[in-house]
């Protein structure tokens, strides 16, 4: 339940420790998976046993160390050019994390701004914004991302821009609808009665109550951003040069899947674990931060 602060604003109670406990195993499992992924990306130069772009054709397609013919120096084996698969997986995590954090944050910022404006002003502003969202979401998101990245050109910036341009609508539509609901609540009416302006109501009252929803969407969007980057790198329009990516490793591994299946299977496993981690984290944070659950 909302509370009146000494300065006249209306605030919601903090979730505190009890809120985190309500997140349950999903919150802690998701936080652990995402935390490990972040640490791997951050400490990649220290964790990688080899240079990810160093080639050794004499050691090409070595199986993982636990299989027959494997070498202890290459725990996850090597690819067709003799590059360490483990090192490439680790450095690929840096690309995935960078895309997830930057693209999802920018998409959230743009989408939340549009959603708040449309939901609070209503009228023609809401109609124009809603029609724009409907038209934008009519295009297949992955296909539109591929087209945009191809037009802009290869590179990490292009991938991030393509994801932001496509996925801001996810936030805008949900935030618009929830803003309209929140503005009809008693606490919003009370805030207007005590003299708060429209901007103050949105910033001080509505936006804090949208945090659980936005956090959940942001976590899910990070997983989606990783998938989009994988698809773009798989078709060859993501990062340039020899920069390792999970999608690029899958593209290479599928051509020799019968001779060296680990080259394709290991990055697929990394993608699955990463996406599951972000989804679990978002779901757990929703339960922990939801003001309805705190009553």
pLDDT in tens, 55-92: 888 877 888 888 777 788 888 888 888 888 899 999 99
CB 53 within 8 A of CB 42: no
Q: What is the Cα–Cα distance from 247 to 55, expressed in whole angstroms?
A: 19
Flag whether pLDDT at 13 surpasses 70. Answer: no
pLDDT given at position 21: 55
- List, as own/partner pairs, every contact residues 116-120 make where C-beta atoms lie below 8 angstroms and the sequence separation is at least 24, other chains included: 116/175, 116/176, 116/179, 116/202, 116/206, 116/207, 118/172, 118/176, 118/179, 119/175, 119/176, 119/177, 119/178, 119/179, 119/180, 119/183, 120/179, 120/183, 120/198, 120/201, 120/202, 120/206
CATH for the stretch 94-295? 1.10.3720.10
C-alpha to C-alpha distance for 193 and 13, rounded to whole angstroms = 21
Residue 115: other Cβ atoms inside 10 A: 26
Range among 93-97, 118-122, 143-147 with highest mean pLDDT value: 93-97
| Residue 106 and residue 160 in contact, taking contact as beta carbons nearer than 8 Å | yes
Mean pLDDT of all residues in the chain? 80
37-46, 85-94, 100-109, 281-290: which has the minimum mean pLDDT? 281-290
Sign of the dihedral through C-alpha 86, 36, 233, 279: positive
pLDDT at residue 11 greater than cutoff 50: no
- CA nearest neighbour of 42 among 93, 3, 87, 82: 93
Name the most confidently modeled range: 94-98, 128-132, 141-145.
94-98
What band does 20 get if pLDDT is binned at 50, 70 and 90?
A: low
- How much is the pLDDT for 7? 44
Q: Which of 56-70, 218-232, 247-261, 272-286 has the lowest mean pLDDT?
A: 56-70
Residue scoring higher pLDDT (60 or 48): 48
């Amino acid at each position: 339940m909302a509370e009146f602060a000494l300065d006249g604003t209306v605030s919601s109670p903090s979730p505190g420790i009890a809120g985190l406990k309500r997140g349950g195993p999903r919150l802690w499992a998701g936080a652990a998976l995402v935390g490990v992924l972040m640490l791997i990306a951050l400490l990649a130069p220290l964790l990688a046993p080899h240079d990810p772009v160093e080639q050794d054709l004499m050691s090409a397609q070595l199986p993982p160390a636990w299989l027959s013919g494997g070498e202890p120096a290459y725990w996850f084996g090597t690819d067709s050019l003799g590059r360490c698969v483990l090192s490439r997986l680790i450095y690929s995590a840096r690309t995935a994390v960078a895309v997830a954090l930057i693209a999802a944050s920018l998409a959230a910022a743009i989408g939340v701004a549009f959603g708040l404006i449309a939901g609070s002003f209503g009228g023609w502003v809401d109609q124009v914004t809603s029609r724009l969202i409907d038209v934008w979401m009519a295009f297949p998101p992955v296909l539109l991302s591929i087209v945009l990245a191809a037009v802009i050109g290869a590179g990490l910036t292009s991938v991030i821009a393509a994801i932001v341009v496509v996925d801001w609508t996810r936030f805008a539509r949900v935030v618009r609808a929830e803003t309209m609901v929140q503005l009809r609540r008693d606490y919003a009416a009370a805030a207007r009665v005590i003299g708060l302006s429209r901007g103050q109501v949105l910033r001080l009252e509505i936006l804090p109550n949208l945090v659980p929803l936005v956090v959940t969407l942001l976590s899910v969007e990070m997983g989606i951003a990783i998938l989009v980057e994988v698809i773009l790198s798989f078709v060859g329009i993501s990062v340039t040069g020899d920069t390792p990516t999970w999608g690029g490793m899958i593209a290479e591994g599928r051509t020799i899947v019968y001779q060296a299946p680990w080259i394709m299977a290991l990055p697929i496993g990394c993608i699955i674990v990463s996406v599951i981690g972000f989804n679990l984290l978002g779901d757990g944070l929703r339960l922990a931060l939801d003001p309805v659950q705190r009553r």
